[in-house]
Amino acid sequence: MLKSRNLVQPEDFSIKEIDEILDLAQQIMANPDKYSEVCKGKLLATLFYEPSTRTRLSFESAMKRLGGNVVGFSEPGSSSASKGESLADTIRIVSGYVDIIAMRHPIAGSADEAVKYTEVPFINAGDGGNQHPTQTLTDLLTIKTLTGRLDNHVIGLCGDLKYGRTVHSLVKAMNRYNDSKFVFIAPEQLRMPGYVKQYLKDHVYYETASLDNAIPSLDLLYMTRIQKERFADLEEYELLKDCYRLDADKMSKAPENMLVMHPLPRVNEIATEVDNDKRAVYFQQAKFGMYVRMALIMKLLGVDVEE
């Protein structure tokens, strides 16, 4: 039962519950008009303490496409956080106004803090370099819809594996499906943190710095941006920012059916010439994000269409 639950990290939901959300998202994609009034009278708060295009706008589009409404802020400067109000007090207040909250915050662990004070379902829309569970639902819907399954994939994750919260959440989620294998492609300074690898058995992951060597063996290639905003030392960022660039030459070495995913935004890590390759699915992936957030909102609010 997902009604009234919170989502802080992907493990908060069982595989069966995630499947329910993905199934509903696929039904919504097939017939969106059927769901256009299920959230009539309901209010979502989007509390974004950090910039976002996809996550905030897809949450807001999702709620409005379900017939509901949205309040919130897209930068902390326009909220009383700028006067020193604590996160706890903000969540207490907002949860008295709305039916469901989605929050993005730059501090890892802030979602665990916020959830202690909410009286309505709370969704972590990204907390620092920690977790981004609705991006993971987006990624799972993309993989399931485009490949027909979530198990038995070889997944290459490339780029900033140290600070990239989307890859931390995705690895933990995909590891729950049978026969997932991971290739972590990163320079020494940006390798996958130990706390994520400790979820995995030794034989299911392999680490390399070479995208060229890894690409021929992959079913899915998940590219990530080098996260400038998380570096304490900007000289180190300058050294690492262009360490990977997926281009047509690299794609010529990739399997014919390999999918290229990216949570976006991208900077230089995927050349625009790759956008027209049929294996590049990152723009489609971003659209799936809206449908999966529609399904998540419906499940947490416990609403459905009347048959």
* Contact footprint for ligand CP (CB under 6 A): 52-55, 126, 135, 263-265
Residue 192, C-beta contacts closer than 8 angstroms, at least 6 positions apart: 157, 161, 162, 167, 171, 184, 186, 205, 207
Instruction: Tell me: is residue 203 an annotated ligand-binding position.
Output: no
Write down the least CB distance from residue 12 to ligand CP, Å: 18
For Cα atoms 148, 154, 160, give the angle at the middle one, nearest 5 degrees: 115
Find the radius of gyration of the CA atoms of the chain: 19
CA distance 165 to 241: 17
Instruction: Tell me: is residue 106 an annotated ligand-binding position.
Output: no
DSSP 255: -
Q: Identify the burial level of 288 via C-beta atoms within 10 angstroms of its C-beta, where 0-12 means exposed, 13-18 middle and 19 or more buried.
A: buried
Instruction: Tell me: is residue 168 an annotated ligand-binding position.
Output: no
Instruction: Tell me: is residue 65 an annotated ligand-binding position.
Output: no
Contact (CB, 8 A) for 288 and 296: no
Write down the least CB distance from residue 58 to ligand CP, Å: 8
C-beta closer to ligand CP: residue 130 or 135? 135
C-beta closer to ligand CP: residue 54 or 144? 54
Instruction: Tell me: is residue 92 an annotated ligand-binding position.
Output: no
C-beta closer to ligand CP: residue 72 or 126? 126
C-beta closer to ligand CP: residue 9 or 135? 135
Place of tokens 């026969």: 179
C-beta closer to ligand CP: residue 55 or 95? 55
DSSP 200: S
CA distance 200 to 32: 37
Catalytic residues: 54-55, 83, 104, 132
Instruction: Tell me: is residue 54 an annotated ligand-binding position.
Output: yes
Helix axes 282-301, 133-147, angle to 10 degrees: 120
Name beta bridge partners: 65: none
CA distance 44 to 123: 11
For 170, what's the count of Cα atoms within 13 Å in the CB-facing half-sphere? 32
Write down the least CB distance from residue 39 to ligand CP, Å: 21
Write down the least CB distance from residue 54 to ligand CP, Å: 4
Write down the least CB distance from residue 264 to ligand CP, Å: 5
Instruction: Tell me: is residue 26 an annotated ligand-binding position.
Output: no
Binding residues for carbamoyl phosphate: 54-55, 104, 132, 135, 264-265
Binding residues for L-aspartate: 83, 165, 225
